[in-house]
Chain A
């Protein structure tokens, strides 16, 4: 049985990895097996920091050969160390899973002994879960940079998702803060996995597909000087060229004292704005250039969609009864659900302002950018619009990020949905 203290140490060390999602895989249970995956993902609990627990997120070990400046587990840090065996991890996962505490396992590790040896033991754990315990629940495995490519491919046929974390948004910062990692040691395996997934798709492989839930990555925001524009450019390139499912942003928390690192953390608002911009890129058809210039930062005053609309007033107002879906999605305040509802409802009848209100479309922002049956309900003056959006934005940054009135705004904070 696993020791409580070890579990604490290895959870504490893993918790700054923000991704915990269990979505994207439809893995089915097999006769004699335990578990399956749910495509949309399932949250099993929420912690007092407002985050969801979906997976058992632990490190196999926090003993590290490397010395990344920002990391509490780096070689030179004086912290308690622990290591788990593959069997201990399997036993814990299975028992948590059977009690419905979790959707599966998110396994990661510091680099002990050697990159190959670490990856080998991670692989062995995942293989045991799948083959000995017949476990068909969700497995997210963190890739170890510099480990053997064959080991990586073996793991990728067993796990649902893998991630190689970029950590720092430029090569320069990587050199400064994570000297043993390089851009290549992260991008080469990422590309290898992408190509293997493409191969499966082309050959219509159905059984034991490589990573049915794809790859993700994470960047630390605010530990190094890159602008939001640079970060988003990199994000866009990762979505386009590597087919990543998600890029996570983790605003820097100063857990380590170092003269190479800022002494204060990055605000949650910055992280939130990046998620909002990320959402616009992934779902609403925006290019980074439309949202944020290369060396600029996102506006703290309003969300990136508002900011874009204010710069592009020539496109507005749009008529809700005729505007194409792509344009509705660009209206501040109308989200994907709202745009979908409008498109469906207007097939039945022409919509007026009152209809929209009853459909629970939030009109406080949207009213300045739309007409309903030709009628405009917003303000004519640009400066008034700006002022009222700014007020909304300020309210959002105070209330949305600290006090949640309903779960739909709470959800939008986690995902950045706009």
Chain B
């Protein structure tokens, strides 16, 4: 079976779709997720702007919103995301019209689930991200999301904290979004060394006191708390650090 391997970027993916489209049985994956078996025939895919544009055009002709949906799914941490998106595209082109709500099709159900996981995590992180004030007055938020969503969060916070300077750092993927008070960019970011402002610990302490005081002790409900706020997110929350 042919296995198309991309570099993990979206251009590479759409190029792979172009190359793989007429193969009878094949798989699209990326360097990060590849799993080879004894009968695999490996094909490396180099991103090709023209092929990429042709595939996108074809997809848009069937459903103008589909390319954005696919780009969301490609942010997922699911190791099968490329294949799931590929199956979705094949179905879409076969049907020639939007299928995003055709929940009778298994390809649509699984694609929709991945998309929701990504958008749900973005929503959760708009709440769970925590900034610290550095001694330069800029704010720094380290976190480690499941999916690759930092630039989506930058859009949200650049509106909200229009006048501040801030950095959102995905420490797992070693990338960061940097906003200088006017514009934001994405950049590589390994380890960061931060000097905190003199008030930072004061406000963190106040926040922890608040968190403790607002809880109604007579009504413990830890399972529900963990359902909403999964434990894996806790290490960046001052109120949950011991």
List A residues at the B interface (Cβ < 8 Å). Answer: 1-2, 4, 7-8, 11-12, 14-16, 28-29, 31-36, 38, 40, 42-54, 56-57, 92, 95-96, 98-101, 103, 253, 265, 268, 341, 344-349, 351, 355, 358-359, 402-407, 409-411, 413
Contacts and interface: CB of A to CB of B under 8 A. Distances in A.
Given A36-B159, A49-B217, A1 B129 contact: no
B103 A407 contact: no
B123 A46 contact: no
Contact of A98 (B104, B161, B221, B222): B161
Contact of A349 (B104, B132, B139, B161): B104
Interface in B132-152: 132-133, 139, 141
Interface size class of B (residues with CB under 8 A): 35 or more
A79 to B, nearest CB: 14
Contact of B128 (A38, A44, A98, A358): A44
B37 interface: no
Residue of B128, B129, B228, B239 with most chain A CB atoms under a 10 A cut-off: B228
Interface stretch (B55-63, B184-192, B206-214): B206-214
Contacts of B223: 50, 402-404, 410
11 contacts: A4-B206, A11-B210, A14-B214, A29-B159, A31-B162, A34-B164, A38-B126, A49-B217, A99-B132, A404-B223, A410-B228
A100 B209 contact: no
A48 B161 contact: no
Contacts of A42: 123, 126-127
B84 to A, nearest CB: 15
- 9 A-B pairs closest in CB distance: A50-B224, A50-B221, A344-B101, A11-B213, A345-B103, A47-B215, A410-B227, A404-B227, A407-B227
A12 B128 contact: no
Nearest to A406: B227
B99 to A, nearest CB: 8
B65 interface: no
B207 A96 contact: yes
B1 interface: no
A344 to B, nearest CB: 4
Contacts of A92: 206
Nearest to A255: B218
Given A4-B209, A345-B101, A29 B160 contact: yes
Interface string B194-234: 00000100110111011101111111111111111100000
Contacts of A56: 210
Contacts of A8: 209, 213
B127 A34 contact: no
Contact of A48 (B103, B123, B139, B222): B222
A344 B216 contact: no
A95 B203 contact: yes
A402 to B, nearest CB: 7
Contacts of B159: 28-29, 36
A51 B219 CA distance: 10
Nearest to B158: A29
B160 A36 contact: yes
A49 B215 contact: yes
Given A34-B163, A36-B159, A345-B103, A49 B109 contact: no
A47 B209 contact: no
Contact of B216 (A15, A45, A53): A15
Contact of B224 (A341, A344, A404): A404
Nearest to A37: B160
B127 A44 contact: yes
A376 B152 CA distance: 46
Contacts of A406: 227
Contacts of A95: 199, 203
Contacts of B123: 40, 42
Residue of A54, A57, A407 with most chain B CB atoms under a 10 A cut-off: A407
Given A98-B161, A345-B102, A351-B104, A12 B213 contact: yes
B49 interface: no
Nearest to A340: B101
B71 interface: no
